[in-house]
Structure 1
Amino acid sequence: MQGHEIQRTAIDAAERLPAAESGYPFGPEHQVYKVCGKVFLLLTELRGVPIITLKCEPQQAELHRVIYPSITAGYHMNKRHWITVYPGDGLSPGLIQQLVEESYQRVVRGIPASRRPAWVG
């Protein structure tokens, strides 16, 4: 998948998630998606290459990095809990959607019960 395809797929997936909000808290070149004020998806360019960065369970992140050469430790994020997806072969829209949904769920699970919306359960 090409970089802009990855970003478009990630945006489409994020827009479908309950209470997901988009903004540009770090400037116009860094689009961020949050749920309940917590980041689950970042979209930017690195040296002109469109990338996305997502939260990921550490063991799953390691597995993704082994399977997909274009998935690396999170750029400018905690390398254990975040991954960055670059353009590359072997990526599919389904994988990108899955990564966005898993990142969102991981963030939602980390929200304290007192701040968690009713729809979370």
Structure 2
Amino acid sequence: MDQHAVHEYLMKKPMVMITQPFAKDVDVYKVNHKMFATLSEGNDGELDDNGELIWWLNLKCDPEEAQALRDIFPAVIPGYHMNKRLWNTVLLDGTIPQGEIERMIDNSFNLVVANMPEKDRRIIENKL
């Protein structure tokens, strides 16, 4: 799954907006003004098998699942510039199946929505 497919998948979530509070090259995806993902070019200049720059996707995660994903996938590392207990960085290098990346995105989105006030949560859940 490349950065374009990830962006499209993120934008299909209800009430999502993109901001760039950190830098112009870091897209921050928010639901109801709460961050659930970031997408940016990797900062180490590493290229994938096709010679393309590897993009980095930060996602919120349950702490136990975050560690399990790091143990399973070499392309999942502690969240870059994030709380490493609650965030993972997914290197979009083509080694993680699309369905797994989509599941991780869904989990991040759902974790953020679950912590919203009930009124906001219901509005978002009704749009799923």
1:17 to 13, 20, 35: 13
Secondary structure at 1:86 match in 2: strand
Give aligned-pair identity as a percent. 33
**Aligned pairs, how many?**
117
Matches within 5 A, 1:96-107: 96-107=101-112
Deviation at 1:117, TM superposition (A): 4.9
Larger relative contact order, structure 1 or 2 (CA cutoff 8 Å, min sep 6): 1
Q: TM-score, normalised by structure 1?
A: 0.86
1: CA distance between counterparts of 2:6 and 2:92? 13
2: CA distance between counterparts of 1:106 and 1:19? 15
Match of 1:32 in 2: 28
Deviation at 1:30, TM superposition (A): 0.4
Q: TM-score, normalised by structure 2?
A: 0.81
Structure 1: where are the runs of 5+ without partners? none
1:118 to 116, 120, 123: 123
Structure 2: where are the runs of 5+ without partners? 46-53
1: CA distance between counterparts of 2:105 and 2:38? 10
Deviation at 1:32, TM superposition (A): 0.8
The two structures, once aligned, show a CA RMSD in angstroms of: 1.8
For each residue in 1:84-105, what CA deviation from the matched residue of structure 2 results, as whole angstroms up to 9, or x when unmatched?
A: 0114463011111111111000
C-alpha contact (below 8 Å) 1:61/1:80 kept by paired residues: yes
